[in-house]
Chains A and B, each alone.
Chain A
Amino acid sequence: MTLTQQRKLKTLLVGLASWTVALLLFFPIFWMFITSFKTELQAISVPPQLFFEPTFENFSIVQERSDYLKHAWNSVVTSFGATLLALIIAIPAAYSMAFFPGKKTKDILLWMLSTKMLPAVGVLVPIYILSRDYGLLDSKLGLVIIFTLMNLPIIVWMLFSYFKDLPKEILEAARMDGATPWDEMVRVVLPLSVGGIASTGLLSIVLCWNEAFWSLNLTASEAAPLTAMIASYSSPEGLFWAKLSAASTLACAPIVIFGWFCQKQLVQGLTFGAVK
């Protein structure tokens, strides 16, 4: 075998292996998706059915039974709201830490990250009681506040990494050109870090959308986002896999598709400045 043939074979094998792994890991999602188009009987048939007559009935049942649209709207409002709020709070902090670092900057950053280590269960009761006392139980505003605080450290950290990577000389040039700190932030730093801010925002949206602990514990029928709605399908009363799949597909589709489209930016965000 010549070297060229060897290389071709290697590429082929690598491709084959990668595809196999990818399909295996994706299989549960694929299965959920096609099960949502089955009847309940087809859904639990043994052996599993890959080919069948698709039905859309499950989706309308889900909408009827648990008002999908309301919960989807709750998810949209809470994740976008919290992300926007967190960005507004985090951008000035990250800007100040990245460009005017003091001796304590590193400590403050690590401290912020360590608040993220504080387990939610540790403060579940007080937060529950505070929410109850201020009428924020089962309200979208309550969730937005919690989500904002929950993601704030990671958002500050990521923005900080982005700002830190901006070429210093450009900011110095702006300073020489007579830019005030405000000009610098608004006319130079922000336009230059649109990509970084976007991917930070994307990650925050994904984290909020999929957040389950607070959603399950602080909301009921009114403000429950999709994560909480889905949990209501876990009750063991009978096997309604098709409807369950339909509900799950509806709950995940928006964020999965969103994630596919924003894959590139998200990857940047996910690396937390660890990878240049």
Chain B
Amino acid sequence: MKRSITRLLMAPSVILLLAWMIVPLSMTIYFSTINYNLLYPGRNNFVGWMNFEFFITDPGFWIAISNTLILLISVLVITVVLGVALSALIDKPFYGRNVVRVLLISPFFIMPTVNALIWKNMMMNPVYGIFAWISQTLGFEPIDWLSDYPLMSVIIMVSWQWLPFAILVFVTALQSQDTEQKEAAQMDGANGWHIFRYLTIPHLARPIAVVVMIETIFLLAVFAEIYVSTGGGPGYDSTNLAYLIYNQALLQYDVGVASAGGLFAVILANIVAFFLIRAVGKNLTV
């Protein structure tokens, strides 16, 4: 086919995504250099690096950065490790496997706002929550999860949401594993652990790459869970970059500073993306 037709077919997607990327981004860059507060309209003078200075010196800035990364890495580790283990567990046939699959996949369909509400209230509430009741039944003091371990609470919620995704991908991948290869290993005297370590894990390399990539895209942008459950608090303890910027923009109406923060988020994402896409890109055949 002619090159021109090929280009024509790709054009809508490419142009839209280019616009989606460039227009808002250049506006963000522009806003980040001016004084722009929605509460005080009309005073949009150029301020240079001031917004950036203001954002970096915000007491929450470094906490938010580290929270963002802790959240990302913790959830990745939890979902990949548990995902591999659980998918290996349900890979063998047993009674009611299909129902188990349906149960396991379900949290993926729960919207983040509902997810946060269920966990915040019915699971983690220090007085009426299920966790509190279990602690008391076992004779321990109930834990006030959201106040005492806010970031961990968010990690639990987000992991619960993304674990099904990992399990599903891995289960599908395991089904495509060569049974003859496993049987050959058995004949060679390999036990279950050997097979898992030397055959299954290498077989899962590509699916793991995909899970890490897709989850990273979504985890860097975790917002609703924090918004609904901890509100970023107490203090900045569970504030990530996304939530910090939101705070600046829509709660304090300071568009200039929020834009500067947005650029930080973009830079952080690009650093992560740079390494990730390079690592994963190799693993994905195009």
Contact = CB atoms under 8 A, between A and B. Distances in A.
A and B touch in the complex (CB under 8 A): yes
B262 interface: yes
A218 to B, nearest CB: 11
Given A32-B118, A239-B128, A115 B20 contact: yes
B39 interface: no
B16 interface: yes
Contacts of A198: none
Given A93-B13, A234-B113, A28 B118 contact: yes
A210 B103 contact: no
Nearest to A273: B284
Given A44-B128, A96-B10, A239-B128, A18 B89 contact: yes
Interface stretch (A53-61, A62-70, A136-144, A252-260): A252-260
B195 interface: no
B273 A114 contact: yes
Contacts of A89: 12-13, 16
Given A25-B107, A100-B1, A118 B277 contact: no
Contacts of B140: none
B9 A93 contact: yes
Contacts of A135: none
B238 to A, nearest CB: 15
A178 interface: no
Interface residues on B, range: 35 or more
B224 A227 contact: yes
Contacts of A255: 109, 111
B173 A230 contact: no
Contacts, number: 317
B220 A251 contact: no
A119 B263 CA distance: 9
Q: Is the interface of A mostly helix, strand, loop or mixed?
A: helix
A108 B206 CA distance: 21
Contacts of A121: 221, 223, 241-242, 245-246, 261-262, 265
B151 interface: no
B276 to A, nearest CB: 8
Given A149-B17, A230-B111, A47 B133 contact: yes
Contacts of A101: 286
Given A18-B94, A227-B112, A96 B9 contact: yes
Contacts of B109: 206, 210, 252, 255-256, 258-259
A200 to B, nearest CB: 14
A186 interface: no
B176 interface: yes
Contacts of B116: 234
> Which 7 A-B residue pairs are closest in the complex by CB-CB distance?
A15-B94, A212-B224, A123-B24, A126-B27, A96-B9, A93-B13, A92-B9
Interface of A: 11-12, 14-15, 17-19, 21-23, 25-26, 28-29, 31-32, 35, 44-48, 89-90, 92-93, 95-97, 100-102, 105-106, 108-110, 112-130, 149, 152-154, 156, 160, 164, 181, 206, 209-210, 212-213, 216-217, 226-228, 230-231, 233-234, 239, 241, 244-245, 248, 251-252, 255-256, 258-260, 263, 266-268, 270-276
16 contacts: A19-B100, A28-B107, A28-B119, A89-B13, A108-B14, A114-B277, A117-B269, A118-B266, A120-B242, A210-B112, A212-B111, A216-B113, A234-B117, A234-B227, A259-B105, A266-B105
